Protein backbone atom coordinates (compact mmCIF):
# COMPACT_ATOMS: atom_id res chain seq x y z
CA UNK A 1 0.00 0.00 0.00
CA UNK A 2 1.37 3.43 -0.96
CA UNK A 3 2.15 5.99 1.72
CA UNK A 4 -0.64 8.49 2.42
CA UNK A 5 -0.16 11.78 0.57
CA UNK A 6 0.57 14.67 2.97
CA UNK A 7 -1.86 17.59 3.27
CA UNK A 8 1.02 20.04 3.18
CA UNK A 9 4.77 19.97 2.81
CA UNK A 10 6.62 23.23 3.63
CA UNK A 11 9.20 22.51 0.91
CA UNK A 12 6.56 22.66 -1.83
CA UNK A 13 6.63 25.57 -4.26
CA UNK A 14 3.80 28.09 -4.42
CA UNK A 15 2.07 26.42 -7.35
CA UNK A 16 2.11 23.02 -5.62
CA UNK A 17 0.80 24.50 -2.39
CA UNK A 18 -2.02 26.28 -4.25
CA UNK A 19 -3.22 22.94 -5.62
CA UNK A 20 -2.58 20.53 -2.75
CA UNK A 21 -2.34 22.37 0.59
CA UNK A 22 -5.37 21.69 2.77
CA UNK A 23 -7.08 19.54 0.15
CA UNK A 24 -5.65 15.99 0.13
CA UNK A 25 -7.72 13.21 -1.44
CA UNK A 26 -10.89 12.44 0.51
CA UNK A 27 -10.05 9.55 2.89
CA UNK A 28 -13.54 8.05 2.64
CA UNK A 29 -14.09 8.06 -1.12
CA UNK A 30 -10.67 8.71 -2.58
CA UNK A 31 -12.01 11.74 -4.46
CA UNK A 32 -9.11 13.95 -5.52
CA UNK A 33 -11.30 17.05 -5.78
CA UNK A 34 -12.48 18.48 -2.42
CA UNK A 35 -16.00 17.42 -1.46
CA UNK A 36 -18.79 19.91 -0.76
CA UNK A 37 -20.07 19.26 2.76
CA UNK A 38 -23.47 20.89 2.27
CA UNK A 39 -24.75 20.39 5.79
CA UNK A 40 -26.03 22.64 8.56
CA UNK A 41 -25.15 20.40 11.51
CA UNK A 42 -23.18 17.33 12.60
CA UNK A 43 -23.91 14.18 14.60
CA UNK A 44 -22.20 14.00 18.00
CA UNK A 45 -20.92 10.59 19.11
CA UNK A 46 -22.10 11.22 22.67
CA UNK A 47 -23.22 13.97 25.08
CA UNK A 48 -19.78 14.40 26.63
CA UNK A 49 -18.18 15.10 23.25
CA UNK A 50 -20.94 17.56 22.40
CA UNK A 51 -20.38 19.46 25.65
CA UNK A 52 -16.61 19.59 25.14
CA UNK A 53 -16.98 20.95 21.62
CA UNK A 54 -19.39 23.64 22.78
CA UNK A 55 -16.92 24.64 25.50
CA UNK A 56 -13.99 24.63 23.03
CA UNK A 57 -12.29 21.91 25.06
CA UNK A 58 -12.24 19.63 22.03
CA UNK A 59 -11.96 20.40 18.35
CA UNK A 60 -14.68 19.21 16.03
CA UNK A 61 -17.68 20.36 14.07
CA UNK A 62 -20.72 21.68 15.90
CA UNK A 63 -22.70 23.78 13.43
CA UNK A 64 -21.82 25.13 10.00
CA UNK A 65 -22.22 28.73 11.09
CA UNK A 66 -18.96 28.21 13.01
CA UNK A 67 -17.06 25.49 11.14
CA UNK A 68 -17.55 23.40 8.02
CA UNK A 69 -15.12 20.89 6.46
CA UNK A 70 -15.21 22.45 2.98
CA UNK A 71 -14.70 25.95 4.36
CA UNK A 72 -11.97 24.64 6.66
CA UNK A 73 -10.12 23.23 3.65
CA UNK A 74 -10.09 26.67 2.04
CA UNK A 75 -8.97 28.24 5.33
CA UNK A 76 -6.04 25.83 5.53
CA UNK A 77 -5.06 26.54 1.93
CA UNK A 78 -5.14 30.32 2.37
CA UNK A 79 -3.19 30.17 5.64
CA UNK A 80 -0.48 28.14 3.91
CA UNK A 81 -0.31 30.42 0.87
CA UNK A 82 -0.05 33.58 3.00
CA UNK A 83 2.36 31.97 5.45
CA UNK A 84 0.03 32.23 8.45
CA UNK A 85 -0.99 29.91 11.27
CA UNK A 86 -4.74 30.02 10.78
CA UNK A 87 -7.55 31.58 8.79
CA UNK A 88 -11.23 32.42 9.08
CA UNK A 89 -13.43 32.52 6.01
CA UNK A 90 -16.51 34.74 5.97
CA UNK A 91 -19.45 35.52 3.72
CA UNK A 92 -17.78 38.52 2.06
CA UNK A 93 -14.73 40.76 2.18
CA UNK A 94 -16.71 43.42 4.04
CA UNK A 95 -17.77 40.97 6.73
CA UNK A 96 -14.14 39.85 7.06
CA UNK A 97 -13.23 43.42 7.99
CA UNK A 98 -15.88 43.49 10.73
CA UNK A 99 -14.84 40.11 12.14
CA UNK A 100 -11.17 41.15 12.08
CA UNK A 101 -11.80 44.34 14.04
CA UNK A 102 -14.34 42.85 16.47
CA UNK A 103 -11.84 41.61 19.10
CA UNK A 104 -9.61 44.67 18.67
CA UNK A 105 -12.02 47.59 19.11
CA UNK A 106 -14.31 48.58 21.96
CA UNK A 107 -16.55 51.64 22.21
CA UNK A 108 -14.41 54.75 21.80
CA UNK A 109 -11.43 52.95 20.28
CA UNK A 110 -10.18 53.83 16.82
CA UNK A 111 -8.47 52.32 13.80
CA UNK A 112 -6.05 54.32 11.68
CA UNK A 113 -6.73 53.43 8.05
CA UNK A 114 -5.47 54.41 4.64
CA UNK A 115 -7.61 56.90 2.79
CA UNK A 116 -6.79 54.91 -0.36
CA UNK A 117 -9.37 52.16 0.21
CA UNK A 118 -12.21 50.70 -1.81
CA UNK A 119 -15.14 53.16 -1.66
CA UNK A 120 -17.37 50.70 0.18
CA UNK A 121 -14.69 50.27 2.82
CA UNK A 122 -14.39 54.04 3.25
CA UNK A 123 -18.14 54.21 3.82
CA UNK A 124 -17.99 51.27 6.24
CA UNK A 125 -15.15 52.81 8.24
CA UNK A 126 -16.56 56.35 8.25
CA UNK A 127 -20.25 55.71 8.82
CA UNK A 128 -21.19 52.16 9.82
CA UNK A 129 -18.40 51.68 12.35
CA UNK A 130 -19.46 54.89 14.09
CA UNK A 131 -22.79 53.26 14.92
CA UNK A 132 -20.82 50.54 16.69
CA UNK A 133 -18.90 53.13 18.69
CA UNK A 134 -15.72 52.56 16.69
CA UNK A 135 -13.83 55.54 15.34
CA UNK A 136 -11.81 55.71 12.14
CA UNK A 137 -8.93 58.02 11.27
CA UNK A 138 -8.37 57.95 7.50
CA UNK A 139 -5.06 59.35 6.28
CA UNK A 140 -2.94 59.32 3.13
CA UNK A 141 -0.94 56.14 3.84
CA UNK A 142 1.39 56.66 0.90
CA UNK A 143 3.40 58.66 3.45
CA UNK A 144 3.89 56.34 6.47
CA UNK A 145 4.49 59.43 8.60
CA UNK A 146 0.82 60.35 8.23
CA UNK A 147 -0.13 57.03 9.80
CA UNK A 148 2.31 57.50 12.67
CA UNK A 149 1.00 60.99 13.42
CA UNK A 150 -2.60 59.79 13.41
CA UNK A 151 -2.06 57.04 16.01
CA UNK A 152 -3.46 58.05 19.39
CA UNK A 153 -3.96 56.53 22.85
CA UNK A 154 -7.17 54.74 21.76
CA UNK A 155 -5.81 53.39 18.47
CA UNK A 156 -6.08 49.62 18.36
CA UNK A 157 -5.11 48.76 14.75
CA UNK A 158 -3.69 50.08 11.49
CA UNK A 159 -5.51 49.06 8.30
CA UNK A 160 -4.28 49.44 4.69
CA UNK A 161 -4.63 47.83 1.27
CA UNK A 162 -1.37 46.46 -0.15
CA UNK A 163 -2.52 47.53 -3.61
CA UNK A 164 -5.20 50.17 -3.34
CA UNK A 165 -8.58 49.78 -5.02
CA UNK A 166 -9.16 51.43 -7.45
CA UNK A 167 -5.91 53.22 -8.32
CA UNK A 168 -3.51 50.29 -7.87
CA UNK A 169 -1.06 52.23 -5.70
CA UNK A 170 1.39 50.39 -3.42
CA UNK A 171 1.95 51.07 0.28
CA UNK A 172 5.19 50.56 2.20
CA UNK A 173 4.11 47.56 4.28
CA UNK A 174 7.40 47.18 6.12
CA UNK A 175 7.48 50.82 7.24
CA UNK A 176 3.84 50.69 8.34
CA UNK A 177 4.47 47.48 10.31
CA UNK A 178 7.27 49.15 12.24
CA UNK A 179 5.02 52.10 13.05
CA UNK A 180 2.13 49.89 14.17
CA UNK A 181 4.36 47.72 16.34
CA UNK A 182 5.97 50.72 18.03
CA UNK A 183 2.44 51.67 19.06
CA UNK A 184 1.73 48.10 20.22
CA UNK A 185 -1.05 47.48 17.68
CA UNK A 186 -1.41 45.02 14.78
CA UNK A 187 -1.05 45.96 11.12
CA UNK A 188 -3.95 44.64 9.04
CA UNK A 189 -3.32 44.45 5.29
CA UNK A 190 -6.05 43.89 2.73
CA UNK A 191 -4.17 41.81 0.15
CA UNK A 192 -7.08 41.28 -2.24
CA UNK A 193 -5.56 42.92 -5.32
CA UNK A 194 -2.05 41.53 -4.90
CA UNK A 195 -2.90 38.01 -3.67
CA UNK A 196 -0.19 35.94 -1.98
CA UNK A 197 1.25 35.12 -5.40
CA UNK A 198 2.44 38.70 -5.93
CA UNK A 199 2.94 39.80 -2.31
CA UNK A 200 2.93 38.10 1.10
CA UNK A 201 2.50 40.89 3.68
CA UNK A 202 3.57 38.68 6.61
CA UNK A 203 7.09 38.61 5.17
CA UNK A 204 7.19 42.39 5.65
CA UNK A 205 5.81 42.51 9.20
CA UNK A 206 2.01 42.53 8.79
CA UNK A 207 -0.01 40.73 11.46
CA UNK A 208 -3.36 40.03 9.80
CA UNK A 209 -4.22 39.72 6.11
CA UNK A 210 -7.71 40.33 4.75
CA UNK A 211 -9.09 39.08 1.44
CA UNK A 212 -12.22 39.52 -0.55
CA UNK A 213 -11.98 35.98 -1.90
CA UNK A 214 -14.62 37.03 -4.43
CA UNK A 215 -11.88 38.64 -6.48
CA UNK A 216 -8.60 37.14 -7.75
CA UNK A 217 -8.52 34.15 -5.37
CA UNK A 218 -11.77 32.85 -6.83
CA UNK A 219 -10.99 34.42 -10.18
CA UNK A 220 -14.21 33.63 -12.02
CA UNK A 221 -16.83 35.95 -10.52
CA UNK A 222 -19.04 33.10 -9.32
CA UNK A 223 -18.76 33.13 -5.51
CA UNK A 224 -18.80 35.83 -2.81
CA UNK A 225 -16.51 35.42 0.17
CA UNK A 226 -13.94 36.90 2.53
CA UNK A 227 -11.03 35.67 4.63
CA UNK A 228 -8.82 36.73 7.53
CA UNK A 229 -5.39 35.10 7.89
CA UNK A 230 -3.35 35.39 11.10
CA UNK A 231 0.45 35.49 10.96
CA UNK A 232 0.68 34.02 14.47
CA UNK A 233 3.32 36.58 15.44
CA UNK A 234 1.33 39.30 17.21
CA UNK A 235 1.09 39.00 21.00
CA UNK A 236 -2.66 38.55 21.40
CA UNK A 237 -2.36 38.77 25.18
CA UNK A 238 -2.14 42.55 24.57
CA UNK A 239 -5.74 42.53 23.28
CA UNK A 240 -8.30 42.71 26.07
CA UNK A 241 -10.97 40.62 24.34
CA UNK A 242 -8.49 37.79 23.86
CA UNK A 243 -6.67 38.09 27.19
CA UNK A 244 -9.56 38.60 29.60
CA UNK A 245 -12.04 35.91 30.67
CA UNK A 246 -14.77 35.41 28.06
CA UNK A 247 -18.20 35.15 29.73
CA UNK A 248 -19.63 33.32 26.70
CA UNK A 249 -17.24 30.43 27.38
CA UNK A 250 -17.24 30.19 31.18
CA UNK A 251 -14.28 32.53 31.65
CA UNK A 252 -12.03 30.99 28.99
CA UNK A 253 -9.08 33.20 28.05
CA UNK A 254 -8.45 32.84 24.33
CA UNK A 255 -4.84 34.05 24.40
CA UNK A 256 -3.98 31.66 27.22
CA UNK A 257 -5.82 28.63 25.81
CA UNK A 258 -4.99 28.94 22.11
CA UNK A 259 -1.71 30.89 22.02
CA UNK A 260 -0.77 31.72 18.43
CA UNK A 261 -4.21 30.60 17.28
CA UNK A 262 -6.06 32.87 19.72
CA UNK A 263 -7.27 35.30 17.08
CA UNK A 264 -8.46 32.57 14.70
CA UNK A 265 -10.21 30.70 17.51
CA UNK A 266 -11.98 33.88 18.61
CA UNK A 267 -12.95 34.78 15.04
CA UNK A 268 -14.75 31.44 14.72
CA UNK A 269 -16.11 31.05 18.25
CA UNK A 270 -17.33 34.64 18.65
CA UNK A 271 -17.13 36.39 15.27
CA UNK A 272 -18.84 33.71 13.20
CA UNK A 273 -20.99 32.30 15.97
CA UNK A 274 -22.45 35.61 17.16
CA UNK A 275 -22.38 37.79 14.04
CA UNK A 276 -23.11 34.95 11.62
CA UNK A 277 -21.28 36.00 8.40
CA UNK A 278 -20.57 32.41 7.40
CA UNK A 279 -19.12 31.40 4.03
CA UNK A 280 -21.31 28.89 2.18
CA UNK A 281 -19.67 25.50 1.48
CA UNK A 282 -20.36 25.81 -2.25
CA UNK A 283 -18.64 29.20 -2.34
CA UNK A 284 -15.67 27.72 -0.50
CA UNK A 285 -15.50 24.88 -3.04
CA UNK A 286 -15.60 27.25 -6.01
CA UNK A 287 -12.86 29.37 -4.43
CA UNK A 288 -10.68 26.33 -3.74
CA UNK A 289 -10.92 25.37 -7.42
CA UNK A 290 -10.09 28.94 -8.40
CA UNK A 291 -7.03 29.15 -6.16
CA UNK A 292 -5.53 26.11 -7.88
CA UNK A 293 -4.79 28.24 -10.96
CA UNK A 294 -3.94 31.47 -9.10
CA UNK A 295 -0.29 31.65 -10.16
CA UNK A 296 -1.04 31.16 -13.86
CA UNK A 297 -3.88 33.64 -13.81
CA UNK A 298 -1.95 36.34 -11.95
CA UNK A 299 0.91 36.11 -14.43
CA UNK A 300 -1.49 36.67 -17.33
CA UNK A 301 -3.44 39.36 -15.46
CA UNK A 302 -0.24 41.35 -14.90
CA UNK A 303 1.02 40.92 -18.47
CA UNK A 304 -2.29 42.09 -19.92
CA UNK A 305 -2.60 44.97 -17.45
CA UNK A 306 0.82 46.31 -18.37
CA UNK A 307 0.01 46.13 -22.09
CA UNK A 308 -3.31 47.91 -21.60
CA UNK A 309 -1.77 50.55 -19.31
CA UNK A 310 0.95 51.30 -21.85
CA UNK A 311 -1.65 51.73 -24.59
CA UNK A 312 -3.75 54.08 -22.48
CA UNK A 313 -0.69 56.03 -21.35
CA UNK A 314 0.03 56.90 -25.00
CA UNK A 315 -3.55 57.61 -26.07
CA UNK A 316 -4.35 61.28 -26.85
CA UNK A 317 -7.78 61.10 -25.17
CA UNK A 318 -6.39 59.79 -21.88
CA UNK A 319 -5.21 62.43 -19.40
CA UNK A 320 -3.42 60.16 -16.95
CA UNK A 321 -2.90 56.52 -15.95
CA UNK A 322 -2.44 55.38 -12.35
CA UNK A 323 -0.73 52.00 -12.66
CA UNK A 324 2.27 51.16 -10.52
CA UNK A 325 3.63 48.83 -13.18
CA UNK A 326 4.40 51.58 -15.69
CA UNK A 327 8.15 52.24 -16.00
CA UNK A 328 7.88 55.95 -15.17
CA UNK A 329 5.78 55.47 -12.03
CA UNK A 330 6.93 57.38 -8.93
CA UNK A 331 6.37 54.12 -7.04
CA UNK A 332 9.10 52.33 -8.96
CA UNK A 333 11.14 51.50 -5.84
CA UNK A 334 8.13 50.12 -3.94
CA UNK A 335 7.13 47.96 -6.91
CA UNK A 336 10.67 46.59 -7.17
CA UNK A 337 10.66 45.78 -3.45
CA UNK A 338 7.19 44.34 -2.97
CA UNK A 339 5.90 43.33 -6.42
CA UNK A 340 8.75 41.96 -8.54
CA UNK A 341 6.37 39.52 -10.28
CA UNK A 342 3.89 42.19 -11.34
CA UNK A 343 1.91 45.21 -10.14
CA UNK A 344 -1.53 43.62 -10.27
CA UNK A 345 -4.33 44.09 -12.76
CA UNK A 346 -6.58 46.82 -11.33
CA UNK A 347 -5.93 50.50 -11.97
CA UNK A 348 -7.55 53.79 -12.87
CA UNK A 349 -7.09 56.20 -15.74
CA UNK A 350 -8.55 59.61 -16.47
CA UNK A 351 -10.41 60.33 -19.67
CA UNK A 352 -10.17 63.84 -21.12
CA UNK A 353 -13.62 65.39 -20.98
CA UNK A 354 -14.49 64.62 -17.37
CA UNK A 355 -17.66 62.94 -16.14
CA UNK A 356 -19.47 62.66 -19.47
CA UNK A 357 -16.39 61.25 -21.20
CA UNK A 358 -15.90 58.62 -18.49
CA UNK A 359 -19.51 57.53 -18.73
CA UNK A 360 -19.37 57.40 -22.52
CA UNK A 361 -16.35 55.11 -22.37
CA UNK A 362 -17.89 52.54 -20.02
CA UNK A 363 -21.12 52.57 -22.02
CA UNK A 364 -19.50 52.02 -25.43
CA UNK A 365 -17.03 49.20 -24.78
CA UNK A 366 -18.21 45.99 -26.44
CA UNK A 367 -15.97 43.19 -25.23
CA UNK A 368 -15.16 44.63 -21.81
CA UNK A 369 -17.94 44.27 -19.25
CA UNK A 370 -19.48 47.27 -17.46
CA UNK A 371 -19.52 45.47 -14.11
CA UNK A 372 -19.13 46.36 -10.43
CA UNK A 373 -16.51 43.73 -9.68
CA UNK A 374 -12.79 43.07 -10.09
CA UNK A 375 -10.51 40.06 -10.24
CA UNK A 376 -12.57 38.16 -12.80
CA UNK A 377 -11.17 36.19 -15.74
CA UNK A 378 -13.10 38.73 -17.81
CA UNK A 379 -11.97 42.33 -18.16
CA UNK A 380 -14.31 44.65 -16.29
CA UNK A 381 -14.68 48.42 -16.32
CA UNK A 382 -16.63 50.95 -14.26
CA UNK A 383 -16.92 54.65 -13.50
CA UNK A 384 -16.16 54.77 -9.73
CA UNK A 385 -17.50 58.27 -8.95
CA UNK A 386 -21.00 57.26 -10.04
CA UNK A 387 -20.96 53.65 -8.77
CA UNK A 388 -18.49 51.94 -6.41
CA UNK A 389 -17.43 55.23 -4.76
CA UNK A 390 -20.84 56.91 -5.02
CA UNK A 391 -21.38 56.96 -1.19
CA UNK A 392 -18.40 59.31 -0.84
CA UNK A 393 -18.75 63.08 -0.77
CA UNK A 394 -17.03 65.26 -3.36
CA UNK A 395 -14.27 66.02 -0.84
CA UNK A 396 -13.81 62.33 -0.01
CA UNK A 397 -13.64 61.46 -3.70
CA UNK A 398 -10.93 64.05 -4.18
CA UNK A 399 -9.00 62.77 -1.15
CA UNK A 400 -9.23 59.23 -2.54
CA UNK A 401 -7.94 60.34 -5.93
CA UNK A 402 -11.25 59.56 -7.65
CA UNK A 403 -12.13 62.48 -9.88
CA UNK A 404 -15.15 62.61 -12.18
CA UNK A 405 -12.94 61.62 -15.13
CA UNK A 406 -11.57 58.49 -13.45
CA UNK A 407 -12.36 55.05 -14.85
CA UNK A 408 -11.39 51.80 -13.13
CA UNK A 409 -10.40 48.76 -15.14
CA UNK A 410 -9.79 45.22 -13.93
CA UNK A 411 -7.81 43.57 -16.71
CA UNK A 412 -8.71 39.95 -17.36
CA UNK A 413 -7.26 37.03 -19.25
CA UNK A 414 -8.41 37.74 -22.80
CA UNK A 415 -6.04 38.41 -25.70
CA UNK A 416 -4.44 41.77 -24.91
CA UNK A 417 -4.83 43.03 -28.50
CA UNK A 418 -8.60 42.48 -28.31
CA UNK A 419 -8.84 44.51 -25.11
CA UNK A 420 -6.79 47.32 -26.60
CA UNK A 421 -8.93 47.30 -29.74
CA UNK A 422 -12.11 47.56 -27.70
CA UNK A 423 -10.80 50.48 -25.64
CA UNK A 424 -9.57 52.19 -28.80
CA UNK A 425 -12.96 52.07 -30.51
CA UNK A 426 -14.71 53.28 -27.32
CA UNK A 427 -12.27 56.18 -26.86
CA UNK A 428 -12.87 57.17 -30.49
CA UNK A 429 -16.54 57.82 -29.63
CA UNK A 430 -15.71 60.45 -26.98
Give me the residues paired with residue 272 across strands. Answer: none
- Can you list the positions of beta strands (E) in 68-168? 86-90, 110-114, 135-139, 155-161
Mean pLDDT, rounded, of the chain: 94
Judge contact between 26 and 47, C-beta under 8 A.
no
Judge contact between 115 and 400, C-beta under 8 A.
yes
Distance CA 351, CA 292 (A): 37
Domain ranges across the chain: 14-104+186-290, 294-428
- Please write the tens of the pLDDT for every residue from 81-129: 999 999 999 999 999 999 999 999 999 999 999 999 998 899 999 999 9
Buried b (16+ CB within 10 A) or exposed e, 130-149: eeeebbbbbbebbebebbbe
What CATH topology corresponds to 294-428? 3.90.1150
- Please write the tens of the pLDDT for every residue from 349-376: 999 998 899 999 999 999 999 999 999 9
- Please write the tens of the pLDDT for every residue from 129-145: 999 999 999 999 999 99
Judge contact between 21 and 7, C-beta under 8 A.
yes
- Average pLDDT of span 179-203: 98
Peptide bond into 166 cis (omega under 30): yes
Name the 3-class secondary structure at 319. strand
Residue 389 pLDDT: 65
Which residue, among 93, 97, 99, 123, has the nearest Cα to 374 in the 3D structure?
Answer: 93
Name the 3-class secondary structure at 313. helix
- Please write the tens of the pLDDT for every residue from 288-323: 999 999 999 999 999 999 999 999 999 999 999 999
Judge contact between 159 and 121, C-beta under 8 A.
no
- Please write the tens of the pLDDT for every residue from 319-334: 999 999 999 989 999 9
Distance CA 47, CA 217 (A): 39
Distance CA 191, CA 203 (A): 13
Residue 1 pLDDT: 36
How much is the pTM?
0.95
Residue 399 pLDDT: 66
Q: Out of 3.30.470.20, 3.40.640.10, 1.10.630.10, 3.30.920.30, which CATH number does the structure's domain 14-104+186-290 have?
A: 3.40.640.10
Amino acid sequence: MSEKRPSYDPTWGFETRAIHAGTPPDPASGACVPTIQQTAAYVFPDSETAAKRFDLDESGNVYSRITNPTVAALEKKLAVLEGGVGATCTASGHSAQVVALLPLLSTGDDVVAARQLYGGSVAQFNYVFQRLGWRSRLVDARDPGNVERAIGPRTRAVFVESLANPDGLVVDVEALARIAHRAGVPLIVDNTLATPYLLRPFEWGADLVIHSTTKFLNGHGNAIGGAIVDSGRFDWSLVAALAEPCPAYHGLRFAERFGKLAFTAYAHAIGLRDLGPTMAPLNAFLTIVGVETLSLRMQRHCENALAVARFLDRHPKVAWVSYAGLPDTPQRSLVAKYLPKGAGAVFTFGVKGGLDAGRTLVETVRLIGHVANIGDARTLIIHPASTTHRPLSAAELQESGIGPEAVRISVGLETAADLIGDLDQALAKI
